[in-house]
Chain A
Amino acid sequence: MTSIEVKQNQDTACVNLHGVYYRELNTRLAELVNQGVRSLELNNACGQRYIGTSLKGDLKITINGTPGNDLGAFMDGPSITVNGNVQDCCGNTLNNGCIVVHGHGGDIFGMSARGGKLFVRDYVGYRAGIHMKAYQDKKPSLVIGNTAQDFLGEYMAGGVLVVLGLGLGENETHKANFIGTGMHGGVIYMSGKVEEHQLGKEVAIAELDETDWKTLRPLIDEFALHFGYNAEEIAARPFYKLYPKYLRPYGRMYAY
């Protein structure tokens, strides 16, 4: 078994992930948190999966490098900052907490999130926000700085998905197709053009009203704070919203 290099100073720990297998790592991180560590710096991350999964409560984690798949899966409380890109399935079924990615995200980013917040500076791969959901006060938010690839918000059932379109030219169109396919809950706020054919059949498009801005503006402010943007400039961009035409699109399919 690999011995893990840890430098601990009161409630702060610095962990070297070089050559460390994810299971040993995640066991060790849980031990550190049990000992009262509240701030973790993880260096040389390289493909270790499920970081943050089993950790709870008020805890700050900074990851330098490339963490593995399912970063923060099922996570319940901690805040993760990644200096680098994240791989597939980041924030899988996130319950509570925050993940901030200073880079781009892989496929199925924020899959099935049911609470918490996800911010990614650049773009995300296929199927970001697939089947995000919401219940009463649990309402996940996913904010993407640049753009997304196909099937953004697929089968989305709740929560808020934001695409800021930063970096797109004035008349440049998002390239994603099948946006909101199967969407039946939640809302997508977008800036940057899309054509009708890029949208899923279940999606309608509308302008934002005051209530929408009450949801969107704090997310823009938080995004700007994380990545050093000017929130006013982002908020001044033209936005539109995508919402599901039907809350139960297939409700009658098997009924008679």
Chain B
Amino acid sequence: MRDLTRVSNSHSDSKVIDACSLFGMMDTSGGRFSGADLITAIGSMHDRGNGLGGGFSAYGIYPDFADDYAFHIMFLSQQAKTETECFLESSFNLKHKEEVPTRDQQGITNPPIVWRYFASVSPEKCGKFIEEDYVVDRVMYINTCINDAFVFSSGKNMGVFKGVGYPEDIGRFFRLEEYEGYLWTTHGRFPTNTKGWWGGAHPFCLLDWTVVHNGEISSYGINKRFLEQYGYKCTMETDTEVVAYAVDLLMRKHGLSVGMAAKVLAAPLWNQIARLPEHERKIMTTLRQIYGGLLLNGPFTIIVAHTGEMIGMTDRIRLRPMVVGEYRSKLFISSEESAIRLIQPELDKVWLPVGGEPVVGSLQNPIKVQKEATAC
């Protein structure tokens, strides 16, 4: 028989080395750019992935429907699509619907049916809910009660594109070079401890919150139980979704600042808290008491994004890599510096942030050009 290993395994690997890759890029002055650079950057970290998942989130891509919720939904059957569309009609004011444009792409097989729906919410339909909670409730309903239908993006003027494959192939499949946004994040590899499935790839999204994650949330069980008390349903069979729901709870519903939310997710160690001045010590102790169930344990680097803001952070002892770069008004967050340099060879600053400290890019607080050396 012909020896196929020379074709399929030309370097005689005894195992496939991989680790997640993530990349985020934001123009804090609001300038929009295409997804082409993101595809190049994440594609350069191909070896960190394994072809079982790749995805992108993009903000500012639907200016024509800026005030409507953009639902990206994947279906495994026409029946699921019909049923979901009936549900959407009854729950929202549907403005526009279309199939998400794709192209044939080598490496991408068996894609689901992917459509997008632009819709608004009328106050009478919300009833006792506030609007965002109503949308979350409807999304959770589709994801748990309608078979073969899955809402994987549900924010305004933003969208998630993801699936099974290498991220650069997923990006080309969804023709992301044709979209323009001011903030993009992307991820390669696959959802931890889960079979690779289209809905399970990163980013995870709820409303306009998205999360990409490198690592493993070993506190998933306690985080899930804590979030379930607030009505979140964990439906994606993987650890990272708890991060998306946790930031939604902390920042949108409870109004915590980025800094405070970071102290919940990557809380300072107790012996560090003991050394703080009394006022801060009280705040940190209180946070740990109230939100103990949201402490993320285990190794992680995450990029959280929502309208107008990109936040990167690692776990307290930085068990996963994160590099940050700045060039003029642009902020880059990456697993490897080389991915940033590939699309932006000259940088004003590049540094390795300390574990647990969030790095924030924001439209409200654009980066001013400041060339200086930064040490930790």
Chain A contacts to B: CB under 8 angstroms: 23, 45-47, 49, 65-69, 85, 87-88, 104, 106-107, 122-123, 125-126, 146-147, 149-151, 167, 175, 177-178, 197
Contacts and interface: CB of A to CB of B under 8 A. Distances in A.
B36 to A, nearest CB: 16
17 contacts: A45-B338, A46-B44, A46-B342, A47-B339, A67-B338, A104-B375, A107-B318, A107-B321, A122-B373, A122-B375, A123-B375, A123-B376, A125-B318, A126-B317, A126-B355, A146-B375, A197-B271
B376 A87 contact: no
A68 B338 contact: yes
B355 A85 contact: no
B337 A149 contact: no
Interface residues on B, range: 20 to 34
Contacts of A87: 321, 323, 336-338
B352 interface: yes
B336 A69 contact: yes
A149 B350 contact: no
Given A106-B352, A167-B375, A46 B317 contact: no
Contact of A150 (B45, B271, B318, B350): B318
Interface string B342-364: 10000000111011000000000
Main secondary structure of the interface of A (DSSP, over half): loop
Interface of B: 11, 44-45, 47, 271-272, 275, 317-318, 321, 323, 336-339, 341-342, 350-352, 354-355, 373, 375-376
Contacts, number: 70
Contacts of B318: 107, 125-126, 149-150
Contacts of B271: 197
B321 A88 contact: yes
B341 A46 contact: yes
A65 B44 CA distance: 15
Nearest to B11: A23
B338 A175 contact: no
A175 B376 contact: yes
B342 A104 contact: no
A163 B318 CA distance: 21
B277 to A, nearest CB: 15
Contacts of A67: 338
Contacts of A85: 337, 350
Contacts of B342: 46-47
A104 B341 contact: no
